[in-house]
Amino acid sequence: MQIKKLRIDPNWQSRLESIGYGYHTFEGERYWVDDYYYEIRAKEADLIYKATTELWDMCLQAVEYVIQNKLYSKFHIPAYMIHHIERSWENDEPSIYGRFDFAFDANDNELKMLEFNADTPTSLFETGIVQWYWKNHYFPELTDQFNSIHEQLIDSWKNLKPYLKGEILHFSCAKETLEDLTNVEYLRDTAIQAGIETKLIYIDDIGWDGRAFVDLEGEEIKSIFKLYPWEWMVNEEFGVHITNDINEAQWIEPSWKMLLSNKAILPILWELFPNHPYLLSSYFEKPAHLKHYVRKPILSREGANVEMYYENEMIYDTAGEYGEEGFIYQELATLHREETGFSIIGSWVIGQESCGISFRESDMPITTDKSRFIPHIIRH
């Protein structure tokens, strides 16, 4: 796995904008990297596939364990949501997607799971569409890419369609969030291609008529995909209506995903699968033997409020507004590093299948919302 450079296409920005990718640059800094890429080997792609498949199964076992043992207090989940979570799990309410983030140590050819973005992962459009167009632009010959995301999304929606409540699947995100809206509209487009009738409504515009959630036309919402965190929804004023809804609206992702999107799942996984080769040791309380570690809030996003320690001395941290609910302690991972920066691998699960990867690169060893997206190809 190594960085390769290209002579940049002078029209790269307009080329990306022509396919609906409008946030390639962030506050004057490149978010999308067009002139270098990762070249990986087929055996590395196979390793990522194997790890993703195995970890997804382990995560499902961990959800069952948490529910059976009523460990909700470790996740700081409001008591009123517990029955909803349990019902969504017992009813096998479907999940469409999630993204594992991996550290890769090239010296040992070793993958370690950093965390699982199980509820509201973004960069799906970049992974499924933008890097595929990038490959076809620079490598029009037959070159491979670990990327069947588009096909897998359409197939997953087709499989889900018979189980949807109502005739319309609503799609939602917050207003004035271009990245979220782009990802939602991409997901919505794949649902339309799967033959599902859809409707877009911003999360801000969802109404409550005293018995059910409604859209701006007063139509009851019975099935809805939301790119909006569960932990935000359940702590907002209208959150209590989720459990009062006469329709028991089908939310995608389902509420059982709250357990996997919370970093409290990391010590649970370590307890269930100690010394597993894809896991980093993780704890609710810092053990004396752990000298190189990262302290993460159980509910944080985009790398906020993370502290990194080496020999028990803090070497790097990020700002933010998270941490009130508590922290976990995770063994410090070795990140892949090139002259351009530190990189992590994002590996996507869609409809139970491992089906695509992305690379995010940072100048510092913590991935944030400003970390660059790097495309890839597979060398056979």
Please tell me the distance from the alpha carbon of residue 20 to that of residue 5, in angstroms, as a whole number.
25
Single out the residue of 315, 314, 295, 298 nearest to residue 306, CA to CA: 295
Q: Spell out the residues 6+ positions from residue 265 whose beta carbon is closer than 8 angstroms to its own.
A: 59, 62, 66, 75, 116, 259
Mean pLDDT to the nearest integer, 313-332: 90
Residue 213's pLDDT is: 97
CA distance readout (Å), 164 to 90, 158, 160, 161, 242: 16, 10, 7, 5, 17
Return the C-alpha torsion angle 12, 18, 20, 24, nearest 10.
10
Mean pLDDT to the nearest integer, 95-114: 92
Q: Is the pLDDT of residue 142 over 80?
A: no
| Structural Rg of the chain based on CA atoms | 21
Please tell me the distance from the alpha carbon of residue 30 to that of residue 303, in angstroms, as a whole number.
18
**Cα dihedral 256, 261, 267, 269 sign:** positive
Render pLDDT for 246-272 as a digit per residue (tens, 0 to 9). Answer: 999 999 999 999 999 999 999 999 999
Count other Cβ atoms within 10 Å, centred on residue 41. Answer: 14
Residue 303's pLDDT is: 74
Please tell me the distance from the alpha carbon of residue 263 to that of residue 268, in angstroms, as a whole number.
9
Please tell me the distance from the alpha carbon of residue 1 to that of residue 3, in angstroms, as a whole number.
7
Q: Is the pLDDT of residue 26 over 90?
A: no
Q: Is the pLDDT of residue 365 over 90?
A: no
Q: Spell out the residues 6+ positions from residue 243 whose beta carbon is closer than 8 angstroms to its own.
A: 80, 81, 83, 84
> Identity (one letter) of the amino acid at 237?
E
Mean pLDDT to the nearest integer, 126-148: 93
Render pLDDT for 192-218 as a digit per residue (tens, 0 to 9). Answer: 999 999 999 999 999 999 999 999 999
**Every domain of the chain and the residues it spans:** 2-262+335-379, 281-331
Residue 181's pLDDT is: 95
Q: Specify the higher pLDDT residue, 230 or 320.
A: 230
Residue 309's pLDDT is: 95
Q: Which helix (H) or strand (E) holds 88?
A: helix 82-90
Q: Are 313 and 307 in contact (CB under 8 A)?
A: no
pLDDT-wise least confident of 79-93, 114-128, 359-373: 359-373
Render pLDDT for 334-349 as a digit per residue (tens, 0 to 9). Answer: 999 999 999 999 999 9
For residue 330, the 8-state DSSP code is E
Q: Are 15 and 9 in contact (CB under 8 A)?
A: yes
Return the C-alpha torsion angle 283, 285, 291, 295, nearest 10.
80
Please tell me the distance from the alpha carbon of residue 251 to that of residue 363, in angstroms, as a whole number.
37
Name the 3-class secondary structure at 328: strand
Residue 108's pLDDT band (cuts 50, 70, 90): confident
